[in-house]
Amino acid sequence: MAPWSSTSDTAARPRLEGLTDDEYFWEPAPGAWNVHPRGTGTAPIQAGSGDFTIDFAFPEPDPAPVTTIAWRLGHLLVGVFGARVGSHFGGPAVDYDSYDYPGTAADALDRLDAVVALWVDGVRGLDEEALARPVGEAEGPWAEHQMETLVLHIHREAIHHLAEIALLRDLWANGVR
């Protein structure tokens, strides 16, 4: 677990410092999926239980829409870390429909820090036997895959989405708007 914590603490998380609400909600392309105040989104599905909803469509369009930093953080909070903390480490159950999406960059980053800490603590608590066990029905068609496979998948997903966020921040910082 040390490599993930080290990567997160020294490479990924510092790239999020200073994230503004303007960057958080910036739509880098027409039709981008975002997090919107309730009732203002235009995607086929507006999921969420609070004042803000996240854009979705099923099936996902091809090509998939570009997504904002807000959308990517929402996905990390719910679909990547949140659901797994709830399913495997005793955290609250979360899903896209019932989640109360953050309406500010600061709130999103605070929530990301909290859910990543829960994930890291949970993974650190796994011994070799637990890592070799099947993940179970919480992971649907991947129920028979070992926990170590899920851990690697979640870390790959986090790196993937955090790198995309870093790129969006670079575009913003260089005046692409």
CATH of the domain at 79: 1.20.120
**Which pLDDT belongs to residue 12?**
84
Look at residues 33, 58, 30, 52 and name the one whose alpha carbon lies nearest to residue 43: 33
Low-confidence ranges of the chain (pLDDT < 70): 1-11
C-alpha distance from residue 129 to each of 30, 89, 120 (Å): 48, 16, 18
**Which pLDDT belongs to residue 163?**
96
Identify the domain containing residue 18 by its residue range: 2-173
**Which pLDDT belongs to residue 10?**
61
Amino acid at 85: V
**Which pLDDT belongs to residue 3?**
47
What's the predicted TM-score (pTM) here?
0.93
* Phi and psi, residue 46, nearest 5°: -115, 100
**Which pLDDT belongs to residue 177?**
85
- Give bridge partners of residue 176 from the DSSP assignment: none
**Which pLDDT belongs to residue 8?**
60
Q: Residues 24, 70: contact at Cβ < 8 Å?
A: yes
**Which pLDDT belongs to residue 29?**
96
**Which pLDDT belongs to residue 43?**
95
Residue 114 neighbours by CB under 8 Å, 6+ apart: none
Q: How many domains does the chain have?
A: 1
- Model confidence over 44-92: pLDDT tens digits? 999 999 999 999 999 999 999 999 999 999 999 999 999 999 999 999 9
